[in-house]
Amino acid sequence: MKRIILLGIFILVGLVAWGTSYYFVPLEKEVSNTNLEKAGIYAEKVYLKGRSEGNLSWEVSADNLNIDLNYKHFVFEGDVKGKVYRDKKLSLLIITKRAEIDRDKNILKIPTELHFETEDGFKGIAPEGIWYFDTGIFMSTKGRVKFEKVGEFKAEADMFVFDTNKGKAEFEGNVVIETYY
């Protein structure tokens, strides 16, 4: 009986000592999450490409890429270069500093100034742009678009629409054209 009482007292003293050690032994500091990236995928110096019916359809390269965990929202930043192909030829080239893919809306949105070139010799600058994946339409409708057909004319308009499937460009709204003859 004395052994059981001594064993009980020994266990009780051990538990009390272990419990009080919390106050005397410093614990490791908690890790702060403030410097961690938000959840998802982050990559540097990326190059993505897509295919349609086995043929190269588009390419995007950028300095940085952030993708959410659901693979619905992609944000390209830095030197962003996008190419769209039609009949195995480059149809549209876009150069900008930021581009966003929204897979729910099926669009590529370019909220910053962009430079573009089309397959038929148009070059230009637009304040923003959007490309609709379903229709292949690229357009800029917010602000003044400046463009030229190299060797033929320079122009400005409020709206630029380019059909990447047909290779057809349209300009609307306060169009001003300067021709070369």
123: containing domain: 41-179
In a domain, 17, yes or no: no
In a domain, 114, yes or no: yes
Buried b (16+ CB within 10 A) or exposed e, 44-77: eebeeeeeeeeeebbbbbbebbbbeeeeebbbbb
Query: What does R_g of the chain's alpha carbons equal in angstroms?
Result: 30
- Strand ranges for 11-141 from DSSP E: 41-52, 55-67, 73-86, 89-102, 107-110, 114-118, 122-126, 129-132, 137-140
Q: How many domains does the chain have?
A: 1
Q: What is the pLDDT along the chain (181 residues), one digit of tens a residue?
A: 666 665 566 565 565 556 655 556 555 544 444 444 456 889 999 998 888 888 888 899 999 999 998 889 999 999 999 998 888 888 889 999 999 999 999 998 999 999 989 888 889 999 999 989 889 898 998 889 998 988 888 989 999 898 878 878 888 999 999 998 7
Which tokens is 135 given?
Answer: 């229709």
In a domain, 12, yes or no: no
Report the CATH number that the domain containing residue 53 is assigned in CATH: 2.60.450.10
d(CA 46, CA 171): 33
